[in-house]
């Protein structure tokens, strides 16, 4: 049952984005900033009762902010040049590159 309510939360957020996209472009761009998946992740980690694990999950989520900004920057820059699907793929590539840099590279130093 735990998985069901998490799926419902993600589905509701997706439905809200689709519904609001028919009424404008700003709100669908803002809704992903609502921490749907962070909320789910923190509830799962918090249920373990480990405060240090909860804090570790919070810090890991905060580390993804630069990767998210890279994703948006590439999408923003690419949309005038290429198809939106390729812009999103380029944004995903940038997200992965920055995320790998943030989580893997510091361990090598």
- pLDDT at residue 33 tops 90: no
What distance lies between CA 101 and its chain's CA centroid? 17
pLDDT of 108 reads 61
- 5 — pLDDT class (breaks 50, 70, 90): confident
32-39 contact pairs (CB < 8 A, 24+): 35/61, 36/9, 36/10, 37/10, 39/9
pLDDT of 91 reads 95
Return mean pLDDT, the chain: 86
Q: pTM of the full predicted structure? A: 0.71
| Cβ atoms < 10 Å from Cβ of 38 | 15
Percentage, residues of the chain above pLDDT 90: 40
Among 10-19, 31-40, 48-57, 59-68, which is the least confidently predicted range?
31-40
User: What confidence tens digit (pLDDT) does each residue in 74-97 have?
Assistant: 999 999 999 999 999 999 999 999
């Amino acid at each position: 049952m735990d998985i069901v309510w998490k799926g419902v939360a993600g589905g509701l957020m997706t439905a809200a984005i689709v519904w609001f996209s028919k009424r404008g472009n700003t709100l669908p761009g803002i809704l992903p900033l609502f921490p749907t998946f962070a909320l789910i992740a923190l509830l799962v980690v918090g249920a373990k009762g480990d405060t240090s694990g909860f804090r570790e999950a919070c810090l890991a989520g905060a580390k993804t902010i630069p990767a998210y900004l890279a994703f948006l920057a590439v999408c923003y820059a690419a949309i005038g040049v290429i198809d939106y699907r390729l812009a999103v793929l380029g944004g995903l590539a940038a997200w992965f590159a920055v995320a790998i840099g943030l989580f893997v590279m510091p361990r090598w130093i």
